[in-house]
Amino acid sequence: MKKNLSILLIAGICLSAIPLSRLGKPAVSRKASPGSQFVEALLKKMTLEEKVGQMTQVTLDVVSAKGGNGQDLEPQQLDTSMLRQALLQYHVGSILNVGAHGFDRDHWHEIISEIQEVATRDTRLKIPILYGIDAIHGVTYTMGSILFPQEIGLAATWNPDLAHQMGEVTAYETRASYIPWNFSPVLDLGVNPLWPRMYETLGEDPFLGSTMGVALIRGYQGAGPVDKYHVAACMKHYLGYSDPLSGKDRTPAWIPDRFMRQYFLPNFAAAVKAGAMTVMVNSAEINGVPVHASHYLLTDVLRGELGFKGLVVTDWADIKNLHDRHHVAATEEDAVRIAVMAGIDMSMVPYDFSFYNELLDLVKKGAVPESRIDESVRRILQLKYDLGLFDHPVGNPSDYPDFGSEAHRKVAFQAAGEAITLLRNENQVLPLSPGAKILVTGPAANTMRSLDGGWSYTWQGERDDQFASGHHTILAAIRQRIGESRVSYVQGATFDRVLDLDSAVQAAAGVDAVVLCLGESSYAETPGNIDDLDLPQAQIDLARAMAGTGKPVILVLTEGRPRIISQFADQMSGILMAYYLGNEGGDALASVLFGDINPSGKLPVTYPRHANALFHYYRKYAEDDDQGSIDGYHPQFEFGFGLSYTRFTYSGLRLSSDTLRGNQSFTVSVDLTNSGSRKGKEVVELYSGALYGSVTPEVKRLRAFRKVELDPGQTQTIVFTLTPKDLAFIGQDNKPVTESAEYRFQVGPLSIMCYYRSGNPQRLGSGRID
């Protein structure tokens, strides 16, 4: 069938969906009954083996043809016998991932078509396969797709509308690749800058992360039932994955339950409320308990407290890891029992059928009740039903004319432009004159790897310069913007090795300014682990050499986490934080450098000054620098910071009442004026902080924000409406509470005080009973 399908594709059938005659009909009529009735009727027809198979997910490698070296053939193709074994013998319900690199749409159509043909024609109950992929900043593994900024860059836009648009475009292009399930968004809190997945997060703040995450999910899934242009979102990695004590990926975290609920849980609670259809689990452990083994987190909290009704899938090999890595299960079979009884619905096995065999044995000998299997299979079938797979297991290629379109590219360009964060602009060195002569130098200047990051065409993004060759590096974009004759280029250093500082210094003699491109290349997950947050010495040496030329130096940082730059930051005339901006990042940076875009990004993380002084902005009063010789909170740049080419003035901060009572809502208003000479966008950030509390209060917490655009001289009044619930924290009983206290509200440089009296007696930090 593989050979025949290939011939048909070459003949042009790739432009239409699989003929219905080649797809089987489900054993239960979908149109005859609503979803739950359809699912229950199908579940009753299933054997135990078919049920356990639905809970089994394998990677595409398992059913791919191999060469003599045991590696997937290039170009990739399916092994028909292995595919039939997976679907007919082991009843596999889900497949994920890609081969050595991304495919074009035609090849995705060929693969998905052949898989679904076997599933819906040759299996007994004709249940379609649920295919999943990591489309985390656009469709990662489809050639010609639009790649957006990584999530940390998206968070820097502080623009939920852009997040929603990114979600919509990504969903459209994922469905255009015939895949209905996206393992995104990452809702881990970006609190440990050493962690190699920092760039996949939406920053360190729960309110910012929740707001942007919900916007992404609504973009992915749409406003109503999921249609052919939307996908099932997968919030990940539940819970606490992003704060390992060592900073290394998949290593232990120690997070008290109150702290977990205060900071890490809100992103997921908001996602559940927004209707996220699936969740992926943290690969690591918290307080000595692997999350894949935690009934408390997976069932009591996720389902019991948050009310999640959807599918819970493991991460890569993480049930096996309960035995192999965490050592909480004496055997692999016991690992399966622990995980399933904790609340896992589907195992990303991913390389064999061991989970199937072990779970089947566990049920047969009574160690896992079949009723527990039914719970998971019911969720899996419901998801397939909700995604329309029983009616349309493969999409119609002609339904997606906007794949990779100019309209989609413009959204990515806007996102990249709004993400770029201006951190320093001494003597208004920026924007540069298009008539200036520029030296471009640094290891990040002429590679797409530093613009796209990991999860770009390949897992590590190591072939990005090959697959993204049609897009502009920073160097190419600057040359296009001002002309090649005005641009000199000397690399100067690799990411970790000096090449030729003397040549770079000599080249600087004949230019007006230097654009110094430092940071990180691409990486993903464990290969991105580092031991030192400082930039490598080679890059520090290059920065100091450029500063020593006496020419204005504009530092452009393309990096997935905030690497330490305090050794030379004060010697830079300008600093732009560029994160990983995606394929449009080079052009967006050139537009900011030369004034076509007025930067409006704000930091979604605290940028540390020293590797051993890692604070979050929602610090406690004891962490502030108020004790003379003790150097407390003193980051390189604060969370929420970002400059503009224009000037914004805040005035008239006011509250609807200076005393709040009970559950009454209230407003905080401020007037914002563009008092500069350029049109610009400003993020108005509202913070609050209690002066005292029964749990030591934070100095401030983000409560609301809004991004507005103003013409020169224009003034706009920004009004935020809050309730006392918005001021709540997690108390000593691990429950949210808003205590009677005095609160400080801050917007820009302004602050105002307000007293809140709850309707119930509350013990204040001062010891009074209100």
Q: Please list the active-site residues.
A: 315
Question: Strand, helix or coil at 706?
Answer: strand
Cα 720 to Cα 718: distance, rounded to the nearest angstrom: 7
Task: Name residues whose C-beta falls within 8 Å of residue 3's C-beta, 6 or more positions apart in sequence.
Answer: none
Q: For residue 421, what are the contacts with CB-CB under 8 A and spacing of at least 6?
A: 156, 576, 577, 578, 599, 601, 602, 603, 641, 642
Token pair of 626, please?
């108020």
Beta strands in 63-106 (DSSP E): 94-96
Tokens linked to 765 = 């930090």
575 three-class SS: strand
* Complete DSSP assignment for 93-127: -EEE--SSS-B-HHHHHHHHHHHHHIIIIISSS-P
Distance from C-alpha of 43 to C-alpha of 68, rounded to nearest angstrom? 42
> Which DSSP symbol is given to 193?
T
Q: Strand 311-313 vs strand 278-281: parallel, antiparallel, or unpaired? A: parallel
B/e letters for 164-193, b = 16+ CB within 10 Å, e = fewer, are bbbbbbbbbbbbbbbbbbbbbbbbbbbbbb
Within a 10 A sphere around the Cβ of 332, how many other Cβ atoms? 17
Residue type, 404: G
Token output for 541: 């040496």
- Asked if 66 contacts 73 with a C-beta cutoff of 8 angstroms, the reply is yes
Cis bond before residue 149 (omega within 30° of 0): no
Q: Which amino acid type is present at position 646?
A: T
Q: E strands, 462-616, where?
A: 487-490, 513-519, 553-558, 574-577
Taken as a whole, the chain contains a residue count of 770
Burial class (CB in 10 A: 0-12, 13-18, 19+), 670: buried
CA dist., res. 677 & res. 99, Å (int): 52
CA distance linking residue 718 with residue 716, whole number of Å = 6
Q: Where are the alpha helices (DSSP H) in 227-324?
A: 257-259, 265-273, 295, 320-324
Spatial distance between the Cα atoms of 582 and 585, rounded to a whole number of angstroms: 5
Amino acid at 711: D
Q: What distance in Å separates the CA atoms of residue 471 and residue 480, rounded to the nearest whole number? A: 12
Dihedral sign computed on CA atoms, order 273, 277, 283, 287: positive
Phi-psi region of 391 (alpha: psi -120 to 50; beta: other; left: phi over 0): alpha
